[in-house]
Amino acid sequence: MVHEQSKQLEPIERAEVLNELSIAATGVNRKASGEWAVEMYDLATNRMNRPEKWEQMTCAAQRKNALTVLSFTDPAGAAQRFFDLEPSAGHLPDEDPRVDLSRHLFVRLWEKDAQPSLPLIRRLSDFTAKTGEYPYAAMGTLIPEVARVNRREARTLFAEAVRHMRDEPRIHRTLGAYVNFLRGSWPTAARKQRREAVKAGVLRVEQTVHDGERTGGRFYFEYYASRDRVRLEGEAIARIYELLPFVDEADAMLGKQLRDRYPRLKDLEVGPVDKIPWRAGVFAAPGRDTPELVQRAFDRHHLMFLKAWAQEDANRAAAIALAVKDQTVRETALALVLPSYARVNQSQAEAWQAELARYATQSGPSLEFLVALSEADFRSGYAEDARRLARQAWKRGVTQLNGKTGVESLGELQKLEDICGHYWFGDESWYAEMSRIPDAAARLKLLASYTRGAVRSRDGYQEPT
C-alpha cells in the first residue's frame, strides 16, 4: 500500500520512502527490497543534472543509499552500478559518499565469491581513489577476512591502501577513515608495513591539515578514555593523537618525536589499537568559539552516540550525561543511557526514571527528549508509560510539523514510528493517527518507518550502519 501510494509523490520524497521500504523488506521480501532499491536509484539518477546544489547532493546521497541496500540482496548488481557514480561536487572536498557504500558492498562481494571477487574490489577502489577518497574503512574490514585464506594477498592490499595515502585527492574525511583502516587491518600487516603506514599517516596530517584555514574557525575534539576526558584544540593534534596507539607499537622513536613536537600529548592516556575510542568533534565558526558555546555544542553532539556508548560502558556513558548543564539536553542524555545503566545499577536507574517521568509532565521537554524516554521505557519494560509518552510525543511533533521546525520534527516522528513499530505494532488507533496526517509525503514516510520498526527483529533483516 505505501509503495503504491508513494508513486504520487515528488521524486525526491518518493526516494526517501523507498529507502525505508527497501530496508524493511530485507527481512520479509528480498526480491522486493532489491526492486525498490533499484527504483530509488533510478529516481535519483534522473535528477542528477538539476541546477540546485542541495538537490545534487541529495540525489548523490540517495544513489549511494540505494546501492547500499541493493548490496544486501544483489551485490553484483550494486557493483555494476557503482561505476556510474561520480563524486558529488556538493560533498567534495569534505567527503565522498561512495566510500560509505563500499563499506557494505566489499564485504558482501567477498562473502559471495571470496578470492575471485578481489579484482573487482580493486577496480572499485581505484575508481573512487582517482576522483575522491580511497575506501579505507571498507578495506580495513575486508583485509582481515582475506587474511584468513591468503595472508600474502591481504598484505598486498594493505600496501596498496597505504600507497594511496600519499597520492589521492585531498578529501577531508580521509584521515578519520585511515585510522579505522589501520584498526581493522593492523593484525594482518608485517612490522615493516606498520612502520610505513604510520609514517604515511603522520606525513599526511602534517602536510595537509591547517586548522581553520578555509573558514577561520576552529575544530575541537574530545576523547573519553577510561580515566580521563581529553579535549584537544585543532584537527592536526587530534589526528596525531588518534594515530599514536599505532605509532607506539610500530615505531617508538617516532612516538617520542611526536610527543616532543606536540607537548600537549606527552602525558595523555593512549588506548589500545584494537579499540575504537569514544570521540566527539565540533567546529566553532569565528565568534562562536567561546568555552560556553563549544561545551554546549559538545553536549548536543554526545546525543548521537550515548545510546551506543552506554551499551559498551554504562557507567562511563552516564558520567558524560550527568555532566551536561543544560537541563533539556541532560534529561535527553540520561534517557538514552537509562536502559543500559539499569543493568549495572537498578536502584539508581529507577530513581532517574522517576526524575525523567516528572520532567516529562512539565512544559519544557523537547520532542527529542520525549522520543528518547519513550524508547527507554519500552526497552526497560515500562510499556504503559512508554505508550503514554509516545502519544505525548506524537501530539507535540504533529503540532510542530507545519512550523519552523517541521523538518526536524518529521525526523523525530519517524524515529518514534520506528520505535513504536518495533515495540507496539498493531494498535489500530495509533495507525489511524498516522493515516490522518494531511501531507502525503510526511504520512508515507511515517508509515514506512513504522513498517521498518515492525520487521526489525525478523531473520534476514539488514540495515546500513
What is the mean pLDDT of the segment spanning 7-14? 90
Measured in residues, the chain has a length of 465
* pLDDT in the model for residue 218: 86
Q: Can you give the pLDDT at residue 285?
A: 85
More confident residue, 129 or 402: 129
pLDDT of residue 47: 86
pLDDT of 51 > 80? The answer is no
User: What pLDDT sits at residue 2?
Assistant: 87
Mean pLDDT of 333-344: 96
The closest alpha carbon to 270, from 232, 301, 305, belongs to 232
Residue 300 has pLDDT above 60, yes or no: yes
Helices (H), 27-171: 30-45, 53-73, 75-82, 98-113, 118-131, 136-147, 151-167
Strand extents, DSSP E, 362-401: none
- pLDDT, tens digit, for every residue of 449-460? 999 999 999 989
Kindly indicate the confidence band of residue 242, based on its pLDDT and cuts at 50, 70 and 90: very high
DSSP string, 218-248: EEEEEEE-SS-EEEEESHHHHHHHHHHHHHH
Banded pLDDT at 87 (limits 50, 70, 90): confident
- The whole-angstrom separation of Cα 315 and Cα 161 is 38
Model confidence at 63: pLDDT above 80: yes
User: Which pLDDT value is given to residue 433?
Assistant: 86
Gap between the Cα atoms of 110 and 79, Å rounded: 12
- pLDDT reading at 7 higher than 90: no
Helix and strand numbers (H, E) in the chain are 23, 3
In this prediction, residue 286 carries a pLDDT of 82
Q: Which cell goes with 37? A: 532499491
Inform me whether the pLDDT recorded for 368 exceeds 80.
Answer: yes
Average pLDDT of span 308-324: 95
Beta strands across the sheet bearing 229-233:
229-233, 218-224, 279-284
Residue 211: predicted pLDDT: 61
Q: How much is the pLDDT for 271?
A: 87
Question: What pLDDT band is residue 168 in, cutting at 50, 70 and 90?
Answer: low
Q: What's the mean pLDDT in 423-442?
A: 88
Whole-number pLDDT of residue 225: 77
Band the pLDDT of 93: cuts 50, 70, 90: confident
- Give the model's pLDDT for residue 284: 87
Q: Which three cell numbers stand for residue 103?
A: 563499506
| pLDDT for position 210 | 73
pLDDT interval class at 119 (50, 70, 90): very high
CA distance 317 to 340: 9
In sequence order, what are the residues at sequence separation of 6 or more whose Cβ sits closer than 8 angstroms to the Cβ of residue 324? 299, 302, 330, 333
Q: Where are the domains of the chain?
A: 209-294
